[in-house]
Amino acid sequence: MAQNTRYDILFEPVAIGPVTAKNRFYQVPHCSGTGHLRPQAHAAMRAMKAEGGWGVVCNEETEIHPSSDLSPYVENRLWDERDIPALRLMTDAVHEHGSLAGIELVHNGNHTYNLFSRAPALAVNDMSVSFGWPKQARAMDKSDIKELRRWHKQAALRSKEAGFDIVYVYAGHGMTLAQQFLLPEYNNRTDEYGGSLENRTRLIRELLEDTKEAVGDSCGVAFRFAVDELKGADGMQAEEEGRAVVELLAELPDLWDVNVSDWSNDSSTSRFNLEEGYQTQYTEFVKTVTSKPVVAVGRFTSPDMMVSLVKRKAVDFIGAARPSIADPFLPKKIEEDRIEEIRECIGCNICVSCDGMSIPIRCTQNPTMGEEWRRGWHPEFIRPKQSEQSALVVGSGPAGLECSMQLARRGYHVTLAEAADTLGGRVSAESNLKGLSAWSRVRDYRQQDLQQRGNVDIFTGSELSAEQVVELGIQNVFLATGAVWRRDGVGRSSRKPLPGVESAKVFTMEDIVSGVQMPSGPIVIYDDEQGYLGGVLADHLSSAGHEVIIVTPGSVVSAWTAYTLEQERIQTLLLKQGVKIIANHSISSVSDDNVTVSCVFTGKKMEIPCAGLLLVTERTRRTELYQSLIALKESGNKEAQPFNFELIGDALAPGLIADAVYSGHLAAQNFEEDPAEIERALFQRELPSLSIER
C-alpha cells in the first residue's frame, strides 16, 4: 500500500489469467536497441524497472522465426531453444524484484527484410516489403499459415521455459503480420482468412487460442492491439472495426494491451502531443467491452491522472514505455509519496531514435538508462563522495545542472555559477521555441533538486574569469560553458565562411529566443545541421507570422527527426503553414537581400530573396574560460597549480541535450574514481561467443 492512501488503488494486485501483478504499473513492451545482441545489458535495464516498482516488465518485439528477421534492427529473438538462456537473464532479474516478466512474440510479415536470414518474406498478400528495399514478400498459403502457427506456439512454449509470465500476441504499430491480416487495406484474400472481419480476425484468434493452449495454464496471454490508426475512414477506427475486434475477441486474451497505430502515433512526441493521456479517447472504450484487464498508454507521469483513470475504469493497468525509461522508479516514488522526485519524460523520443540506429537505449532525462550493465549506473543511487573535496561547476545548462546535482547527491559541496540570470542554458532557450516547452522539465527537475540540498550554492548572473575561478579556491572545476551557433555558415557543407556573410543580416537561435526583432520580408533558415532545430525555428517563425524559406542540403527538412518519428509530421506541418522548403541545396553566397543556393547534385545556382538569414549550421564551443585557465596554469601562477578542470557537455563536444546530460553525469560519476575503472567502463561491451558450433 502507498504511504499516501490516495494512491492505494495503484498498488492493488491485478490478476492476468493465471498470474497476478503486484500492482497496476505495467511497463509495456518497448524496444531498447540491446535485444539479442546485448542480453546482459538488456536484462539489467529491465531489472531496473522491476526494482523501481513496475509490477509487470515486458521485453520488446521478439522474432519467432528467421522469416521475421528484423536485421539490421536489434530486437529480441526467440528463433529456437538457443535463445532461451539470453532471455532467462531478464526473467530471473525481473523476478528477483517480485515483478512479472512479459514477452512480445511477433512475426513481422512484410515489415521485415530478412536481410540476415535471407528467408523469403511472408505477407498476407503478395506485396513489397514495407521499407525502401527492392524486395517483395509472398502471400502466405495455407501451409505457410499452419507453419506460422507452429512457430508461434513453439515460441510460446519456449517463452514459458525462459521464465516469462505473460506471453503476447501482437497486432499493432503497423508492423506485424497479425495486424496486416486484420486490415482490409492489406488483406484481399479470398479464403477464410480474408473478407469479413471475422475472417480477417481468424489468424489472431488462432494465435491466441494456440498460445492459451500451449502456456495458458501458467502464463497470462496478452493481446496487444492498435484500436485506431488515426487515418480516419482510410484505416482502423476505434469506434468502427476497432471496437468490433474487441467485441469479437473480448474474453479470449487474459489481458488487452491497447494503443493507437502506427508507431509514430503511439509514441507521439511532446512537440505534437503535449499532454499526457493523448490516447485515452481512443482506448477507453475497451474496458466497457471486455471483463479482462486492460492496459493503455499515453506518456503518463501524473499519479493523480493515473488514479483517476483507474477509478473511472478507463484502464486496469497504467501502461508506460517512455515514462518508465525517464524514471524506472516512478512506481516506488508514488508508493513512497515522493511525487516531486519523479523524473518526468519530456517526450523527445531520443529513446526511440536508438532503435533506428541499433544502439542501446538512452534518455534525455535519465542518463543512467542503458548504462545499468555497462557502467553499473543506477538512476537513484550513486557512489558517495570519497573525500571532503568540493567542486565548482561553471554553467547551468543540461551538463552543468546534471553534474552539479550528481556531485551534490554524492555529498560533495557544490558551487554552481551561471552567467545568465536564470538556470538552464540551452534547455531554457530551446524550450521557449514552439513545440519544445516540455523540454524545460530537464531544467526544472534538476533545479528543484538542487534548491533543496544544503550542500549546493547557486549563483546566477555570475560570469567568471579565470582569475575569479582561482580566487574562489575551489580546486575541482567543471566547465559547462556550452556552445553558441556559428554566425558564419561554416558547417558540413562548407568548411569556409559563406562569401558575403560578414555583411549580411545574420541571426541564430540565440537571437530568436532572446527576442531580437526580425526584419520584415522573407527569413531564410539555412539548416545545414539537419537535426531538429532548423525545423523547430521554421515552425516558430512562421507561426509568428514571418515568411519563412528553409534551405537544406538534406532531401527533406529536419532529416534526422526520422529517428524520432517526427520527420513526416514536421514537413507536413511546415508545408501547411506555407513554409517554402528548398531541399537538396546548400547556400553558396549571401548578399544584402538575397542568398544564392546551389544544387547539391548539379551545382546549379539560383537566387532567393532574403531579408534575414537564420543560420543553423554548426556550433562553436565556448572554451574561453578553459583556455584562460590553461594559460594561467601554464604561466606558473601558484594559486592555479592545484586546480583540476575539465570541459563537459556542449563545451566539450556539441550534441543533443541528452548528450550534454550524459556528459555531466559521467563527469560526476568519474570524479575521484579510479582511472582503471573509468577505462574499464569505457571499453566494456558484450562480445560474440567464439564457440558456437556449426
Local structure of 425: helix, strand or coil: coil
The grid coordinates listed for 393 are 561547476
Active-site pick, 31, 219, 363, 610:
31
Q: How many Å apart are CA 181 and CA 204, to the nearest integer? A: 8
Local structure of 549: helix, strand or coil: strand
Q: Strand 255-260 relative to strand 390-394: parallel, antiparallel, unpaired? A: unpaired
Smallest gap, in angstroms, from Cβ of residue 654 to a copy of itself?
Answer: 4
Q: How many Å apart are CA 485 and CA 516, to the nearest integer? A: 15
The grid coordinates listed for 313 are 475504469
Number of residues that make up the chain: 694
Is residue 412 part of the annotated active site? The answer reads: no
Active-site pick, 210, 266, 650, 659:
266
Q: How many Å apart are CA 464 and CA 433, to the nearest integer? A: 28
Is residue 210 part of the annotated active site? The answer reads: no
Cα 64 from chain centre:
25
> Do 480 and 467 contact (CB within 8 A), yes or no?
no
CA atoms within 13 A on the CB side of 88: 10
Q: How many Å apart are CA 319 and CA 51, to the nearest integer? A: 17
Q: What is the dihedral of CA 614, 620, 621, 625, to 10 degrees?
A: -100
Q: How many Å apart are CA 28 and CA 187, to the nearest integer? A: 28
Is residue 266 part of the annotated active site? The answer reads: yes
10 to each of 23, 28, 55, 307, 310, how far by Cα in Å? 6, 16, 10, 7, 8
- The residue to which cell 545556382 is assigned: 605
Q: What is the dihedral of CA 663, 664, 668, 671, to 10 degrees?
A: 60
Smallest gap, in angstroms, from Cβ of residue 52 to a copy of itself?
Answer: 20
Smallest gap, in angstroms, from Cβ of residue 371 to a copy of itself?
Answer: 9
Peptide bond connecting 72 to the previous residue in cis, omega within 30 degrees of 0: yes
Active-site pick, 30, 107, 111, 173:
173
Smallest gap, in angstroms, from Cβ of residue 601 to a copy of itself?
Answer: 4
Residue 689: is it exposed, middle or buried by C-beta count within 10 angstroms (0-12/13-18/19+)? Answer: exposed
Q: How many Å apart are CA 368 and CA 350, to the nearest integer? A: 14
Nearest to 292 by CA among 231, 223, 339: 223
Residues 361, 87, 220: CA angle, nearest 5 degrees: 100
Smallest gap, in angstroms, from Cβ of residue 143 to a copy of itself?
Answer: 11
The grid coordinates listed for 177 are 503480420
Q: How many Å apart are CA 87 and CA 35, to the nearest integer? A: 9
Give Cβ neighbours of residue 545 (< 8 Å, ≥ 6 apart): none
CB-wise, 128 or 273, nearer to a copy of itself? 128
Q: How many other CB atoms are there within 10 angstroms of residue 562's CB atom?
A: 15
Give Cβ neighbours of residue 191 (< 8 Å, ≥ 6 apart): 142, 199
Radius of gyration of the chain (CA): 27
Sheet of 594-599, strands arranged across: 585-590, 594-599, 605-609
CB-wise, 188 or 448, nearer to a copy of itself? 188
Local structure of 186: helix, strand or coil: coil
CB-wise, 316 or 566, nearer to a copy of itself? 566
Active-site pick, 7, 170, 193, 526:
170
Q: How many other CB atoms are there within 10 angstroms of residue 596's CB atom?
A: 18
> Do 669 and 371 contact (CB within 8 A), yes or no?
no
Q: How many Å apart are CA 101 and CA 77, to the nearest integer? A: 16
Q: How many Å apart are CA 266 and CA 9, to the nearest integer? A: 26
Is residue 107 part of the annotated active site? The answer reads: no
Please identify every residue annotated as catalytic: 31, 170, 173, 266
